[in-house]
A and B are shown apart, each in its own frame.
Chain A
Amino acid sequence: MGGGVTPDGESLFENAACGLVLTNPDGTIVRVNATFCSWTGFTAVELVGRRVQELLTMGGRIFHQTHWAPLMEMQGSVAEVKLDVVHRSGAIVPILFNAVRRRHGAQVFDELAVMVVNDRHKYEAELLATRSQLEAANERLHGADRRKTEFLATLAHELRNPLAPIRTGLEIMKQVELPTEGGRARAMMERQVAHMVRLIDDLMDVARIESGKIELTLARIELRQLIDSALEASRPVIEAAGHTFRLILPEGSGALFLEADLTRLSQVLSNVLNNAAKYTPRGGRVELEVEPLRDAVAIRVRDTGAGIEPQRQASIFEMFGQVAGTLNKAQGGLGIGLALARTLTKMHGGRIEAQSPGLGAGSTFTIHLPTVAAARRDASPSWQEGERPVRPLNVLIVEDNQDNAETMCMLMELGGHAVRIAHSGRAGLERAASWRPDLILLDIGLPDLEGYEVARSLRADPHTAGCTLVALTGWGAAEDKRLSEEAGFDAHFTKPLAPAELFAFMHDTFGGPTG
C-alpha cells in the first residue's frame, strides 16, 4: 500500500503503545520494551534481572503476593489489575496490568502488557464517591421512611384514644330513649365514628405492613361468612350512594370453604366494594359475583363507574397509589385500601387484579383465593347484641382517662353490674384487694404502673388471683397480646372497644343471668 515500509517486529515491540514486559514465573524480568522503560524511568539493562514486584510500592507487593501470584498459578492470567509503580525518580505511576502465563518451548514465561491509567483511576474514584453518596442518601431516606412509619403508628394509636369514650358513649345513648332527631344524630355519629375507626385501622395496618408486622389468625370459614361480613360493612355505603346492588351466588357456592382470617379478608372485600361505590357516579350498579374454580374461588366486584386507564391498573395497588383524577380528589381517602387488599390477599395465598375497558367504562376487581375441603368447621356462630345477657357482676374499671372510665362505667351499670373506678394502677390494686371484683377491666397505659405489672400483682395476691382480668389497650399487635397473656390477662381488647365483643366474652366467662 502506498509504498510505505511496514515496521518490523522488533520496532513494533519496542515502541508499542503499551508497556510490554516478559518475566519468569517468579517475576524476574527477562525483557522489557522502550515504552515501559520510558514510563518508569529505568533503562532495560537496569530492569532485566530484577523482579517486577520490586518496582511496586510495598502495599502493591503484598497485593501482588496475595492476589496476583496465586491467580497466575491457578488460572494463568490476571486481568486489569491496577498497581502503583515507583518511578526511578520516586514518583508514583499508576499502571494497569494484564498478564498471561505462556509456555515457549521448554520454558514458561509471564507476558505482561501495561498501561498508565491516571484518568481511569480518577474516573473510578469519582464513581465510587458517587456510589457512596447514593448509599448515604438511601440510608437517609430509609431512616426518614422508618420514622414516617413509626409516626403513622403513633398517630393512629393516639387517634384511637379519644374515639374510645365517644364510641362507648354512643353505645350508651342507644340504650336510653332519645327523641327522633337525637336518635338520627346518634346513628349518624355512630356511622361516622365507625368510618373513622376504619380509617385509623387502615393507617395502623400501613404501619404494620411497612414494618412487616402484620399477622393472620387463620380459621376454616365459609365463603358465605366472608361475603356477609364484608356486605355488612359495605352495603350501607353502596346504598348511600344510590347504587343498585346484586349478589350473584351460583349453585354450590355454599360449600366453599377458606382457610382464612375472616376479619382481614372482609376488610379486603369491603375495601373493594367501597371503592366500587365510591368511584361510580350516583345511581350506578355494583355487582358481586362468586365463581367457583378448581381448588379456588374468584370473587368479582363489578361496577359501572369511572373505570381505570390501562396504564394505571397496576399502580393503584401501590401504597398511596391514588391518582390525581378529579373524581378521586373529590372522594377523599388515603390511597391505601388497595395496597392493603393486595398484601392481605397475598398473605392468604391469593391475588387481586383490576380490569377495566377504560375511563368511564366501569371496572372489575377480581380476588382469587384458594379454597379448602370442608372437613371441619370452626364453630363460631355470630352473636347478636342483647342475646348474651350476663349475670350481675362486680366490675372494677382501672383507667386513667376520666371520660373513658365514665362511659365504661355507664355501660356496665346499664348491664346491671356493680361498678367501681380506679384512676391509677396502685389505686386499682388497693380497690381490688378490698372489694374483690369478679371482673377487672384494666387499661395498659396507666400513669404509675404498667397494666402488665398490675396484672402480675393481682395474680400474685391470693385474694385477687381468681378474678377475671381484661386488658384494654390502644395497641392490638400480636406482640402486645402475647405480653398481656404472659402477664396473666384472660382477654385482650383493643380500643376503641366494641362493646358487643366484651359482652360476648363476659357471657362466655360468667354465663347467663341464672349462672
Chain B
Amino acid sequence: MKLQQRNNITVHGDGPATMLFAHGFGCDQTMWRNLTPSFGARYRLILFDLVGSGKSDLSAYDYRKYSTLHGYADDVLEIADQFAVGPLIFVGHSVSAIIGMLAAIKEPHRFAANLMVGPSPSYINDGDYIGGFSRGDIEGLLQALESNYLGWSSNMAPAIMGAPHKPELGVELTNSFCRTNPDIAKHFARVTFTADHRKDLPLVTTPSLIVQCSEDSIAPRPVGEFMHKAIRHSSLRVVENVGHCPHLSSPGSTFDAMRGFLTELDL
C-alpha cells in the first residue's frame, strides 16, 4: 500500500530544509494549521496522520506493530525517506515528540533538529518522578473514550457530518478532527499513556527543543525540566499558555520559540 495514503501525507511550502509535523494523541494533522502558514515560506512542510488517526488508512492499523511507539517511529523514518528533502526538522506534539525522538535515536544522521511540543517521557508517577498521573487515571481515560464511543466513532460520521450543510443548525455539530475508530483510539491511548521512555533520553544526540507550556496538566512543568536535564544539547522554552496545545492556542509564541531555536542552529 502506498505510504502517502497510509499516513495521509500532505506536502506544503518549499525551502531547502524539511519540517515534518506529527500530531499528538486525540486529533490529526489539522492541529498544525495555526502554525504552518508561518513556516511555509521558509521550509518544505510535510504533514501526516499517525496510522489509526485522522484520515490515515485504518486498515493499516496493526495492533502488534503499534503496541509500542517504535512502530510509529519506523513509520516516521519511512516518511522521511520518501518525502524529506535537505536537512530534516522533526516537529512532534505530545506523544509524537517521543516518537520523533525514538526515530532520531535509531537514525541520528537523518535528523537536524527535533522540536518537541509538550513532550513527556512517561505519564505515570513513579517514585520521585512526577509524570502527573496514576495507572488508575489512565483507566479513567479509557472509560471516557468508551463512554463517547458512539458519539466519536468514525462509523457514525456519515450520519452526523450532515450538520455543516444544514445552516439552520447554526453550529457545526461535529467532532470531526477527533473522529476515529474507537477501538483503535483506546489501544493508542493505552500505548501512549503507559509508555515509559525515560531511559532513552540520554541516548539522544539530535539538538532538541522542548516547548513547555506554563500550565499544562498533561505535561506539567517538572516533566519538561526532567527532559531538559536528561537530553544533552536540549533547550527548554516555556510558552505562556494554559493547556496542552500551544500550537493551537498560542501559535505566535510557539512559532517564536521554534524559530529562535532553528536560527541558533542555522536552519
Question: Closest 5 interchain pairs by CB?
Answer: A59-B140, A66-B26, A58-B137, A59-B141, A73-B248
Question: A56: nearest residue on chain B (CB-CB)?
Answer: B144
Jot down 11 A-B pairs with beta carbons below 8 A, ordered by A: A57-B137, A59-B137, A59-B144, A60-B140, A65-B217, A65-B218, A67-B175, A70-B27, A70-B177, A81-B148, A100-B171
The answer to whether A62 and B193 touch across the interface, beta carbons within 8 angstroms, is yes
The answer to whether A79 and B33 touch across the interface, beta carbons within 8 angstroms, is no
Give the chain B neighbours of A70 by CB distance below 8 A: 26-27, 31, 177-178, 245, 248
In the assembled complex, the CB of B115 is this many whole angstroms from the nearest CB of chain A, namely 18
Give the chain A neighbours of B5 by CB distance below 8 A: none
User: Is A128 an interface position by the 8 A CB rule?
Assistant: yes
Rounded to whole angstroms, the CA-CA distance of A63 and B244 in the bound complex is 11
The answer, among B136, B150, B171, B218, for a CB contact under 8 Å with A124, is B150
Give the chain A neighbours of B217 by CB distance below 8 A: 53, 61, 65
Interface residues of A in 78-111 (CB under 8 A from B): 78-84, 94, 100
In the assembled complex, the CB of B61 is this many whole angstroms from the nearest CB of chain A, namely 17
Rounded to whole angstroms, the CA-CA distance of A83 and B145 in the bound complex is 9
Q: Which of A71, A73, A127 has the most CB of B within 10 A?
A: A73
The answer to whether B244 and A69 touch across the interface, beta carbons within 8 angstroms, is yes
The answer to whether B177 and A66 touch across the interface, beta carbons within 8 angstroms, is no
Interface residues of B in 163-218 (CB under 8 A from A): 171-178, 193, 217-218
Give the chain B neighbours of A78 by CB distance below 8 A: 175
The answer to whether B142 and A59 touch across the interface, beta carbons within 8 angstroms, is yes
The answer to whether A75 and B26 touch across the interface, beta carbons within 8 angstroms, is no
Give the chain B neighbours of A84 by CB distance below 8 A: 140, 143-144, 147
The answer to whether A65 and B144 touch across the interface, beta carbons within 8 angstroms, is no
Tally of contacts, chain A with chain B, CB under 8 A: 120
Question: A57: nearest residue on chain B (CB-CB)?
Answer: B140
The answer to whether A66 and B31 touch across the interface, beta carbons within 8 angstroms, is no
Write the A112-143 contact mask toward B (1 if CB under 8 angstroms, else 0).
Answer: 00000000010010011000000000000000
The answer to whether A82 and B27 touch across the interface, beta carbons within 8 angstroms, is no
Q: A66-B244, A70-B248 are in contact. Are A75 and B144 (CB under 8 A)?
A: no
Give the chain A neighbours of B193 by CB distance below 8 A: 62
Write the B16-56 contact mask toward A (1 if CB under 8 angstroms, else 0).
Answer: 00000000111100110110000000000000000000000
- Residues of chain A having any CB pair with chain B under 8 Å: 25-27, 53, 57-63, 65-67, 69-71, 73-84, 94, 100, 121, 124, 127-128
The answer, among A25, A57, A66, A79, for a CB contact under 8 Å with B175, is A79
The answer to whether A83 and B144 touch across the interface, beta carbons within 8 angstroms, is yes
Give the chain A neighbours of B27 by CB distance below 8 A: 66-67, 70-71, 74
The answer to whether B174 and A75 touch across the interface, beta carbons within 8 angstroms, is yes
Q: A59-B139, A59-B143, A61-B217 are in contact. Are A66 and B25 (CB under 8 A)?
A: yes
Question: B193: nearest residue on chain A (CB-CB)?
Answer: A62
In the assembled complex, the CB of B223 is this many whole angstroms from the nearest CB of chain A, namely 14
The answer to whether B242 and A58 touch across the interface, beta carbons within 8 angstroms, is no
Rounded to whole angstroms, the CA-CA distance of A508 and B149 in the bound complex is 68
Give the chain B neighbours of A57 by CB distance below 8 A: 137, 140, 144
Rounded to whole angstroms, the CA-CA distance of A27 and B178 in the bound complex is 20
Rounded to whole angstroms, the CA-CA distance of A69 and B213 in the bound complex is 14
Question: A69: nearest residue on chain B (CB-CB)?
Answer: B243
User: Is B151 an interface position by the 8 A CB rule?
Assistant: yes
Q: A62-B133, A63-B144, A65-B217 are in contact. Are A79 and B173 (CB under 8 A)?
A: yes
Give the chain A neighbours of B4 by CB distance below 8 A: none
In the assembled complex, the CB of A206 is this many whole angstroms from the nearest CB of chain B, namely 29
Question: A81: nearest residue on chain B (CB-CB)?
Answer: B148
Known contacts A66-B218, A67-B152; 14 additional CB pairs below 8 A are A27-B242, A58-B136, A58-B141, A62-B137, A62-B193, A65-B243, A65-B245, A67-B178, A70-B26, A70-B177, A70-B178, A78-B175, A82-B144, A124-B149
Rounded to whole angstroms, the CA-CA distance of A61 and B173 in the bound complex is 22
Give the chain A neighbours of B31 by CB distance below 8 A: 70, 74
Give the chain A neighbours of B248 by CB distance below 8 A: 69-70, 73-74
Rounded to whole angstroms, the CA-CA distance of A475 and B176 in the bound complex is 52
Give the chain B neighbours of A69 by CB distance below 8 A: 243-245, 248-249
User: Is B58 an interface position by the 8 A CB rule?
Assistant: no
In the assembled complex, the CB of B53 is this many whole angstroms from the nearest CB of chain A, namely 11
Give the chain B neighbours of A94 by CB distance below 8 A: 147
Rounded to whole angstroms, the CA-CA distance of A106 and B49 in the bound complex is 36
Q: Which of A57, A59, A71 has the most CB of B within 10 A?
A: A59
User: Is B130 an interface position by the 8 A CB rule?
Assistant: no
The answer, among A27, A74, A79, for a CB contact under 8 Å with B151, is A79
User: Is B138 an interface position by the 8 A CB rule?
Assistant: yes
Rounded to whole angstroms, the CA-CA distance of A76 and B176 in the bound complex is 12
Question: A102: nearest residue on chain B (CB-CB)?
Answer: B171
Give the chain B neighbours of A66 by CB distance below 8 A: 24-27, 94, 218, 244
The answer to whether A74 and B33 touch across the interface, beta carbons within 8 angstroms, is yes
Rounded to whole angstroms, the CA-CA distance of A78 and B151 in the bound complex is 11
Give the chain B neighbours of A71 by CB distance below 8 A: 27, 175, 177-178
Give the chain A neighbours of B136 by CB distance below 8 A: 58
Q: Which of B27, B94, B144, B149 has the most CB of A within 10 A?
A: B144
Rounded to whole angstroms, the CA-CA distance of A82 and B218 in the bound complex is 20
The answer to whether A26 and B242 touch across the interface, beta carbons within 8 angstroms, is yes
Q: A70-B178, A100-B171 are in contact. Are A58 and B140 (CB under 8 A)?
A: yes
In the assembled complex, the CB of A85 is this many whole angstroms from the nearest CB of chain B, namely 12
Give the chain A neighbours of B30 by CB distance below 8 A: 74
Question: A66: nearest residue on chain B (CB-CB)?
Answer: B26
Q: A25-B249, A73-B249 are in contact. Are A67 and B26 (CB under 8 A)?
A: yes
Rounded to whole angstroms, the CA-CA distance of A69 and B178 in the bound complex is 11
Give the chain A neighbours of B151 by CB distance below 8 A: 79-82
Q: A25-B249, A59-B142, A66-B24 are in contact. Are A77 and B171 (CB under 8 A)?
A: yes
Give the chain B neighbours of A81 by CB distance below 8 A: 148, 151, 175
Give the chain A neighbours of B152 by CB distance below 8 A: 67
Rounded to whole angstroms, the CA-CA distance of A70 and B178 in the bound complex is 9
Rounded to whole angstroms, the CA-CA distance of A121 and B24 in the bound complex is 28
Give the chain B neighbours of A82 by CB distance below 8 A: 144, 147-148, 151
In the assembled complex, the CB of B141 is this many whole angstroms from the nearest CB of chain A, namely 4
